[in-house]
Amino acid sequence: MNTTPDPDNFNPRKEGFRCGLEIHQQILTEKKLFCHCPAGIYSEDYDAQVLRHMRPTLSELGEYDGTALMEFKTHKEIIYRINKKLTCTYEMDDNPPFLINQQAVDIAIEIALLLKCSIVGELHVIRKQYLDGSIPAGFQRTAIIGVNGWIPYKDKKISIIQLALEEDACREISDVGHRRIYATDRLAMPLIEVVTGPDMLDPQEAYEVGVQLGRLLRTTGKIRRGIGSVRQDVNVSVNGGTRIEIKGVPQLPLIPDLVFYEAFRQYSLLNLRDKLAERGINKENLQTARFDLSGKLENSALADLPDDENKVSALLIKEMSGLFAHRLGSNRNFADDVRGRIRVIACLEHYPFMLHTDDQSETTISGTDKDILKSVTGMTDNDLVVVVWGPPGDVETALNEVEIRVREAIEIIPNETRQRQPSGETDFERILPGADRMYPDTDSPPLPISRERVDKIRGQMPVLPWVKEAEYKELDLPNHLAWMLAISSRRTIFDRLVSDNKVEPVLAAVVLLEQLKNFSRLGGNLDIISDDCLDELFSAYKKGAFVKEGFRMLIEECALTGNTDWVNLAEKLNIRRVKKEEINKIISESIDTAREELFCKPENLPKVVIGIVMDKLRGSVSGKELIELIQHELNE
Amino acid sequence: MENNDNKGYRGAALSILNKFDVSVWNDVEIETTDGVFSGIVLPRSETADDRHIVLKLITGYNIGIEVDTIQGFTSYGSKEAHYKIPEKEFPYDPIKPNVVLLGTGGTIASRLDYRTGAVIPAFSPGELYGAVPELADVCNLKTIKLYGVFSENITPEHWAGTAKAIKREVENGAQGIVIGHGTDTMHYTAAALSFMIRQTPVPIVMVGSQRSSDRPSSDAALNLINATWTAGYSDIAEVLVCMFGPTSDEYALLHRGTRVRKMHSSYRSTFRTIGDTPVARLANGEIHMIKNDLRKRCPKTPLEIDTVFDDRIAIVYYYPNMKPDIIDSLVDNGYKGIVIAGTGLGHVNKPLYPSLKRAIKEGVHIYMTVETLWGYVQMYVYDTGRDIMELGVVPGANMLPEVAYVKLGWVLGHTHDREKVAEMMLTPYAGEITEREAVDGYLIMQGGLPEMEKFLKEVHV
C-alpha cells in the first residue's frame, strides 16, 4: 500500500523537476502594436461597452481545441469596456490591423540579439487563439523575431527557444457567474515573449534565471516598468508528469514556492493514480450515479441555501472513499483540484457549491444529512458522494466535469494552465491549448527584416549586464554597486566619468546610484539631472570647487532647490577645499571655545569640539579625518 | 531537378529550393549565416517577394528566411497536410421548416486554410453543420453552391441566375431562402433580387459576414442562425438583408433590399437602412417588427421572376470641376443609362450641360440621385436644378444611387421608350422610393453629445 506523499519530504530535483519560463515584458513604445492608440496609459474609466461571445473554431484536423471547448461550455458573456482615448475600433476587432509598429520591431530585434537569437529574415504575423475573451478578436497577433538563443547561468547555458513580439491582452475587471468584464486599456500594447527551454532543474534556478533575464531586459532601457508591465508564465513538470503552465506570475520571488508545490502536486497525482489502480478502479469499471437532492437535506450547510432557482445534485462514485482527501499540497487535496475545475467550467460561484463525504468537518455534510445521503444514494463506506449546488444547467455541467476529472486521475495528469492563489499554491485556470490554435494572419503582409537593419541595431546594443558587472568588479566596485550599475541607465555616464574624467570609480558609483536615489527620495526631479549636468558636477569637483565629502550636501540641496549651478551651490553651502593649516586653526579655536566659553567637562570635550568643527567644515573635510585630527589635537 | 510543386515560389527563392532539391511541405533544417532554423517549408503567397522561404516552426509560428543567407538544407521527409472541414450529416426534423441556403461566395462561405493562410470555400451542409451546429435547431437546411466569387466580381448574370435558382427551390418546396453573399456588393444584389423577383410566397434573406468563421469572434454563426430563422419562421415575403444590428453579439436587423447599404468598410454593424427604419429586429428566435408595410408570407402566391437586364448603364459620382468628357465618353462607348449621384438636392456644374443634352438627344436615359444618400432629389429649389431637368435629366426621388443604377438596368431590359422608362423608374416596385421620410429615417448620431455619451456607456454598441 503506498503512502500519501508529504511536501516536507519532497525533493523536486530527485523527481526530475524541469522548469521553463515565458517572460512577457511590455516594451517602451509610444503607440500600440497594430494601431495608433497610445501605449502605456491605464484607466478604468470607460465610454462604451461591447458584448461578445467567443465560439470555438475547428482546428485544421477538424477537431475543436480542448480550451476552446471548455470556454464554450462556460457560456460566458464577455463585456469590453472601452475608453475612447485608449482604444479604437482595431482593438474591438471592427477594423483590420494597421502595419506593425516599427519601433516595437526594432526593440524586439535588439532584445533578441542580446539573447543571441538568430533573427528571422521575414516577420510573419500569426494569430494565436484565445477563447477566454481576453482579446476581442479571439486571437492574439504575434510574430517570431528570433529563435535559438541562450543566456549563461552559472556554468551552463539556458536555451532561449524563441522571442516573439505580440500584443497584450485585456485586463479582467470581474468574472462573476456567466459574465466576465474586461478593461481594454492594456489591450494591444506591444510586449515581447521570451521562451526558455525547460532547463531549470530546481525551483531556485527558476527564480535566478528569471532575475538574470529581467536584468538583460532592463539593460536596454526600452522596456516598461511598474506593476503589470512584466508577467511570467512558468512551465513545470516532473518525471512521469506533464507540462503544466502557471500563468501570469507577477513577481519573480513568488516562483520558487509556486513551482515547488506544482511539482509536488504532479508527484502526488501520480501517487493517486497508483492508489486508484490498487483499488482496481479503471476507466471501464468506474461506477457513478446521479441523484437529485433538492429539498431533501435538513441540517447541513446546503439545507439553508435558497432553492427556488437552484438545484442540489449528488454524484455517487463507487470505491472512491478517502481519495478526495488525497493531499496535493501544503493545504490542498484532490477535492480542491476538482472544485477549482467546476468553479471555472460550470461557473459556480457561491460557496459552498461543492461538498463531499471525505470532508470530515462538521460545517459540511453533517448529522442526519449523512444518513439522508446514504439512503438516497445507497453509498457504502467504500464510496464517495459529491454534492453540488447551483443553477440546474450549471449543476449538470459541474457533475459532468467532476466525472471527467476523476476519469483523468485514473490515467493522466491533465494538461492545464493554473493560476496562482494567495496561499502560494495554484488552482485550475483552463485546459492547456494546443499548437493547433496558431494560424497565419491574412490581414498582415510579411515584413522583410534586412540584414542592414539588424546590423545597425547590433552596432548600438548595450553590453550584457553580466559582462558589465564583471568589468565593474575589476574596478574594485563593491559587489552590490557592480550589480546595480550593470543595468543602470547611468552606466554610460559612469564609464565616461571614470575613463575620461578620471573620477574614482567607487565615488562615481556611490553618487550615481545611492546619492541620486536619495535625491529622488527627497523629492528632487531626476529630469534635471541630465548627463551634462552630472558632467558639470564632476568637473567642478575635479577642478577643486569642493571635496568629495561635498557631494552629498550638494545633491541634497539641489533636490530641495532645483538649483544645478554646482559651483554656486558649493559657495552657498560654504563647502570648499580647506588647507591643513586652516583646519588645525579651526580645531584649536574650537577647543578653546569649548573649554573657556562653554565650560565643557573634560569627558564631553571631544563630542562638543567635533560638533563645533563640523558646523564650520561640514562637506569640506571628511568626518573621519576631522575626528582623527581633533583627537590628535586634544591628546596634545 | 525542376520541382513544380513549390507553390507560390519564384525567382531566387524557387532557384534555391530547386538547387537543394527541397519542396513545399518538406520538414527541413536550414543552415544560414544567421544560424539554423528548423520547420516545414510552407507554400508562399504568389504576391509576396522572391527573396524568402516560409517555414512553419514546431511551435506553430511561421517565419521567413532570406534566400541570400541560406547555406544549406537538410531534409527530413515531407509532412503535407490537407485541410478538410469535417462533414457531419445535417439532421432532418419533420416539424422544422425547410430552408435552402444558396451560396454565392464571400467571407461567409469561406474558411482559412490553416497551413497556408489561403481562404478556401466551405459550403456543404455538412461543413456548415460542423461549424454552426445550432443551425439544426432552427431548420432543415439544404445548401446549394451557386457561385464562388468575391462580391466585387458579381455581375447581372449572377443576379439573374440567383433569381432563377430561388424560383426553382421555392417551387420545390423551400419554406424560406437564405443567400450567402460577400458583403461588399450585397446591397446591389439585394436591390437586383428585389426587382427581379416580382412576388414571392416566402422570405428571401441575404446574409454575409464581416469576420470569417475561422475567427472565434466571427459574426458568421450568429448571422446564419438569424438569417435561417428569418427564412424559416418570419412572416415577411420580401427580399431582406439580415446582418448585425450593433457590433455587440446582441441582435440582428432586417433591412429592405432596396433601402439598405454597406456603410463601414469593416464594422460588423455595417449594414444600415438609409432614409427609413429597418424592417425588424431579431434575437434568440424572437422577432420585433419595426415596419408593418411588408408583404406577408403566403404559400399560395406563385413566385414570379423577371430577370431581364441591360447592363449598358453607369453611375457617375459628381465632383466639383467634373469635365464633360466623362459624360461624353460614356455616350461614345454606347452606354444607354446613366445614374448621377449629384451634389445636394441633385446638381452638377454648368460645363456638363451640353454633354448631358447631347447624351439625352442620343437616347441615353439619365437619372439624378443624391450623393448625400439621405434625402430626396429636389430640382425645383434652385435654378440649376430646373436647368438640368430642362436638359432631360430625371429626378430619381429618394432612390439610393446604387439602387437606381440596378433599377435602371432592369427597366432598360424592358424598354427604351423614354416615357415608359420614366414611368417605371418613378414607380416604386419594392420600396425603393418612399412617399415620405419619417423623423426617425435620418439618424446619424454624433459622438461627444451628452445623450450619445450616455447611450454609448449604457447600451452595448
Of the partner residues A129, A148, A162, the one whose CB lies closest to the CB of residue B36: A148
Task: Tell me if residue B194 falls in helix, strand or coil.
Answer: helix
Q: Higher-confidence residue: B115 or A366?
A: A366
Residues A87 and A204 in one domain: yes
Taking only residues 515 to 574 of chain A, the set having a beta carbon closer than 8 angstroms to any beta carbon of chain B reads none
pLDDT tens readout for residues B320-329:
999 999 999 9
Q: Which residues pair with A166 in a beta bridge?
A: A142, A191
A448 to B32: CB separation less than 8 angstroms, yes or no: no
CA pair distance B203, B222, nearest whole angstrom: 18
User: How would you write B402-420 as a 3-class SS string?
Assistant: HHHHHHHHHHHHHCCCHHH
CATH architecture, domain defined by B98-305: 3-Layer(aba) Sandwich (3.40)
Q: Which residues pair with A417 in a beta bridge?
A: A245, A430
pLDDT tens readout for residues A559-587:
999 888 998 888 888 787 778 888 888 88
DSSP letters, A442-504, are TTS--EE--HHHHHHHHHTPPPPHHHHHHHHHHTT--HHHHHHHTT-TTHHHHHHHHHTS---
CA pair distance B349, B339, nearest whole angstrom: 16
Contacts of A35 (CB under 8 A, 6+ apart): A88, A90, A91, A95, A97, A98, A188
Maximal CA-CA distance, chain A: 103
- Mutation for testing the B interface, residue in A45, A94, A454 having most B CBs under 10 Å: A94
B317 vs A: CB within 8 A: no
Q: Cell 528548423, residue?
A: B38
A47 vs B: CB within 8 A: yes
Residues A567 and A630 in one domain: no
Signed CA dihedral, B2, B4, B10, B12: sign only: negative
What is the tally of structural domains in chain A? 4
B34 to A56: CB separation less than 8 angstroms, yes or no: no
Please, which pLDDT band fits residue B358 given cuts at 50, 70 and 90? very high
CB A609 within 8 A of CB A594: yes
Of the partner residues A93, A118, A137, the one whose CB lies closest to the CB of residue B35: A118
Last residue in a domain, options A387, A404, A419: A419
**ipTM of predicted complex:** 0.90
Give me the CATH topology for the region B11-78.
Answer: SH3 type barrels. (2.30.30)
Grid cell in block for residue A4: 500519501
Assess if residue A75 is contained within a domain.
Answer: yes
Residues A551 and A585 in one domain: no
State the average pLDDT over residues B63-77: 94
Range of the domain at A235: 7-243
Common-topology check for domains B11-78 and B98-305: no
Establish whether B262 is a catalytic residue: yes
CB B221 within 8 A of CB B236: no
Q: Which residues of chain A have a pLDDT value below 50? A: 60-62
CA pair distance B26, B42, nearest whole angstrom: 8
CATH code of the domain containing A294: 3.30.1360.30
CB A31 within 8 A of CB A38: yes
Q: How far is A395 from chain B (nearest CA, A)?
A: 22
Grid cell in block for residue A442: 491574412
Q: Collect all residues of chain A within an 8 Å Cβ-Cβ radius of residue B250.
A: 51
Distances (CA, A) of B77 to A358, B37, B39: 54, 16, 11
Residue B2 is predicted with a pLDDT of 41
Nearest to B313 by CA among B198, B385, B388, B421: B421
A93 to B211: CB separation less than 8 angstroms, yes or no: yes
Residue B105 is predicted with a pLDDT of 84
A69 vs B: CB within 8 A: no
Nearest to B383 by CA among B419, B356, B347, B425: B347
Residues A346 and A476 in one domain: no
Task: Tell me if residue A423 falls in helix, strand or coil.
Answer: coil
Q: How far is A247 from chain B (nearest CA, A)?
A: 18
Last residue in a domain, options A200, A224, A243: A243
A51 to B216: CB separation less than 8 angstroms, yes or no: no
Parallel, antiparallel or unpaired: strands A416-420 and A244-249? parallel
A389 vs B: CB within 8 A: no
Last residue in a domain, options A189, A218, A243: A243
Q: Cell 454633354, residue?
A: B355
Q: How far is B14 from chain A (nearest CA, A)?
A: 16
Q: Cell 539554423, residue?
A: B36
CA pair distance A386, A591, nearest whole angstrom: 87
Taking only residues 144 to 173 of chain B, the set having a beta carbon closer than 8 angstroms to any beta carbon of chain A reads none
Residues A77 and A195 in one domain: yes
Residue A61 is predicted with a pLDDT of 46
Look at A601-615, B344-358, B401-415, B425-439 and tell me which has the smallest mean pLDDT.
A601-615
Grid cell in block for residue B452: 450619445
Of the partner residues B35, B64, B115, the one whose CB lies closest to the CB of residue A60: B115
A50 to B69: CB separation less than 8 angstroms, yes or no: no
CB atoms near residue B289 (< 10 Å): 14
Residue A627 is predicted with a pLDDT of 83
Residues A539 and A594 in one domain: no
Residue A38 is predicted with a pLDDT of 97
Nearest to B241 by CA among B267, B266, B208, B214: B208
Signed CA dihedral, B391, B395, B396, B402: sign only: positive
Please, which pLDDT band fits residue B121 given cuts at 50, 70 and 90? low
pLDDT tens readout for residues B162-209:
999 999 999 999 999 999 999 999 999 999 999 999 999 999 999 999
Q: Which of A408-417, A614-623, B215-224, B425-434 has the highest mean pLDDT?
A: B425-434
A162 to B57: CB separation less than 8 angstroms, yes or no: yes
Q: Amino acid identity of B242?
A: C
CA pair distance A382, B13, nearest whole angstrom: 68
Of the partner residues A56, A94, A118, the one whose CB lies closest to the CB of residue B216: A56
Signed CA dihedral, A422, A423, A426, A428: sign only: negative
Residues A76 and A106 in one domain: yes
**Chain B: residue whose CA lies nearest to A77:** B249
- Mutation for testing the B interface, residue in A35, A44, A52, A193 having most B CBs under 10 Å: A52
Residue B115 is predicted with a pLDDT of 57
Report pTM. Answer: 0.89
Residue B3 is predicted with a pLDDT of 46
Taking only residues 78 to 107 of chain B, the set having a beta carbon closer than 8 angstroms to any beta carbon of chain A reads 81, 83-86
A70 vs B: CB within 8 A: no
Residue A70 is predicted with a pLDDT of 56
Q: Collect all residues of chain A within an 8 Å Cβ-Cβ radius of residue B214.
A: 57-58, 439
CA pair distance B291, B338, nearest whole angstrom: 32
Residues A220 and A285 in one domain: no
Q: How far is A19 from chain B (nearest CA, A)?
A: 18
Residues A562 and A586 in one domain: no
Domain boundaries, chain B: 11-78, 98-305, 313-425
CATH architecture, domain defined by B313-425: 3-Layer(aba) Sandwich (3.40)
Residue B85 is predicted with a pLDDT of 59
State the average pLDDT over residues B3-7: 64
CA pair distance B254, B204, nearest whole angstrom: 11
